[in-house]
Structure 1
Amino acid sequence: MQTAGELSVNSQPLLTIAIPTYNRATYLDLCLKRIVEEIAGLSEDQRCLVKIYVSDNASSDGITPKVIAQYQGMQAGVFEAVRNPVNVGPDKNIAQCYDSAITPYVWIIGDDDVLLPGNLGIVLSQLLKGKIDILYVNNYWFKDSYQEKPRCQESHGALSFRSAAEFTRRTNVMLTFISGLVVRSGIGMNYRTELTASNLVQLSWVLPLLREGKNFMTIEDWVVAAQGSNSGGYGLVKVFGCNLVKITNEILKDMPAVARTIQNGTIVNFFPGFIFEFRKGSSKFSDMDMAAGLKEAFGDNWRYHIFLAPLIRFPLPIAGCYNVFLKVFRRLFGWALV
């Protein structure tokens, strides 16, 4: 397999954009529409660098296969689609997207997430500059329309990191967000089976790349809009609590500080908002033992006692005020907290 540094315009494809999907035809339609529009906006030479791969996890809605066929017809020779004969579960479907890529890089995008205008060319230009192990692309969450961007964006451009520790301080829990990660292909098969029941199978390649890689980059401008409040049905605390701690400690056992940074970021940046939404009754996740699960996973970390325990114990109105305080606290102290 060629590396990115050996590729040039008019050479072999560089990047596979892979979408795992199941019974979400409306979201998938928008996701594919934006990808196709981005490819159309590239130069003729750049278009040959991109492939599209969709893995339909035996959708039963009768519509998803039609949406896939429509876009496959528009992108003949570029678009590959597979349909699993049975539903293999989300982890195996995501892993199939990664493992099927024959290009040097893979970008798995959730079927409900949206690639923002003008950014595919930016991603390709960074990949063509030289070997990158993980490229993190900045993103924001939306509820109704991806065009409703947050009011301000403080960071712009691209940042390079020569150490996993520095890169992880910037990304921490976002290393679990597949749509925000463009990664080298062909990594981590020895962890794949173990992680296919964890809801975090992406860490089977992300963490080895973090452990073994030397070149990391972020694009600070918004590249992806992520659909919020659109997933659920599993225990978020178990997945991003005990599962995450176990997996990071195991794969990064020789880099304990980096493992802790991911865990710290999960406590500081991820769980406070979830706890508040769960207590308001607006979460779709099944976490009836939320308090016990968070304490089991993070109880020996001082951040738990500042960022999580008060939100669990305080009466809801006070917890709401405390959540606002935490947002200001994070904004003021940033990376120092992880």
Structure 2
Amino acid sequence: MSPESPLLSITIPSWNRARFLQRTLQQLCAELRDRDDVEVLVSDNCSPDDTPAVVAAAQADGLPVRYVRNASNIGSDANIAQCFNMARGDYVLLLGDDDLPVDGALAALLAHLETRRYGVVCLRAYGFEADFRKECPQTSAREHRFERGGAFLAAIGQRMTLISSCVVGKCFIPHLNANQFCGGNLVQVHLVLQAALAAGHNLFLDQYLIACQRNNSGGYNFAQVFVTRFGEALDNYRCADFGDEDIRTIERRMMIGYYPFYLFRQRLGREGDPEASHATFAARFRSRWLFRFWLAPILLLPRPLALAWGGFATFTGRLLIGDLQRGVAFAWHRLMQRLAPRSA
């Protein structure tokens, strides 16, 4: 395949994270040896650190990195959009500079992309702190194919918000300019929605294939982005193939197993204004019983009671949506880390 039309573009929007970027590029170099159908693009948002040297070292090691360095910091949304727009591949993986594919993930992915059948391929992700191999939860390989875009979107839910988790078929939306979606911290969501609905056929690889550095992002209002703006994005794509029930399914699963942890962490760390967060959630979910009886107590109860309820809701919610294993694996690894010095 010619370098002008690779099967996959792995594009990495980066700013001031040379240490993490180095690890990501090293993993890509190991995973992509002897592949000539994948391009790697790093879009550097004018980093003041050693990012140029890290990219040069990866290039010297044989990784064919296309490097773009912005003259100034254009913001995260614009940098993500630039990555998508500059990608030459039929498919685009927007990979966080602190995230990386696990061993063998890209080979498994590329085997599916070669069919050029799917609008979006979703890869299950997990968080890690130090060693992505040791901290990877063990799961069996499962594949879920969908012939209706709405059913696929309902199945992956909040995973579409994570840029590293979704491989977008640019060949299904070839003339789309991602710059139009800047300004809401959810450029990637619009790309996933567009490609999934355009293609109809989509794939969810339900095994842990992407490792994400824990607690390494921020600078935004969680409720505004993941309730208000995310909800508006879903509403804007409502159509015959993506209806009210699909949207309610996504939001119901998020209220059960996604939002409780972040609200619990907000109260635990005394972050933000619980009443303001409650108002934002209420504007979208006021009439939903899951909000009133499952989420609102985490925000409105006195802090000790809120933490008790938040911990219970987080554990139970993860159990109900089938995502408890990831949390258990993380807790077990943390426990082993704490015990290791004592037994040395």
SS at match of 1:202: helix
The question of whether the paired residues in 1 share the 8 Å contact of 2:255 and 2:295 is answered with yes
| Mapped contact 2:261–2:314 kept (Cα < 8 A) | no
Tell me the secondary structure at the aligned position of residue 144 of structure 1: coil
**Per-residue deviation, residues 167-205 of structure 1 (Å, max 9, x unmatched):** 223210111111011111163866744420100011221
Q: Note if contact 2:150-2:197 (Cα within 8 Å) is conserved in structure 1.
A: no
The yes-or-no answer on 1:161 pairing with 2:146 is yes
Question: Which position in structure 2 is the counterpart of 1:80?
Answer: 66
The correspondence for 2:79, drawn from 93, 100, 105, is: 93
CA contact (8 A) 1:109 1:179 kept: yes
User: Which residue does the alignment assign to 2:332?
Assistant: none
Distance, in Å, in 1 between the alignment partners of 2:318 and 2:263 is 19
Q: Report how far residue 334 of structure 1 moved.
A: 3.0
Closer, same or farther: CA 319–147 of 1 in aligned 2, 3 Å: farther
Aligned twin of 1:54 = 42
- Cα 1:50–1:191 change in 2 (3 A) is closer
Q: How many residues align?
A: 319
CA distance in 2, matches of 1:188, 1:246: 24
Correspondence for 2:56: 69
Q: Equivalent of 1:319, from 306, 330, 334?
A: 306
Superposition map of 1:181-260 within 5 A: 181-185=166-170, 187=173, 192-254=178-240, 255=242, 256-260=244-248
| Worse-superposed segment, 314-323 or 170-179 | 314-323
Contact 2:274 2:300 in 1 (8 A): no
Looking at structure 1, the residues matched to 211 and 17 of structure 2 have their Cα atoms a distance apart, in angstroms, of: 17
Give the Cα separation in 2 of the matches to 1:13 and 1:193.
22
How much has 1:241 moved relative to structure 2? 1.4
TM-score (norm: length of structure 1): 0.85
Report the TM-score when normalising by structure 2.
0.84
Structure 2 counterparts to residues 105-184 of structure 1, below 5 A: 105-149=91-135, 151-153=137-139, 155-184=140-169
Name the Cα RMSD after superposition: 2.6
- Within a 5 Å distance, the mapping from 1:259-278 to structure 2 comes to 259-278=247-266
For 2:159 and 2:293, how far apart are their aligned partners in 1?
21
Identity percentage of aligned residues: 29
- Residue 131 of structure 1 and its aligned partner are, at CA, apart by 1.1
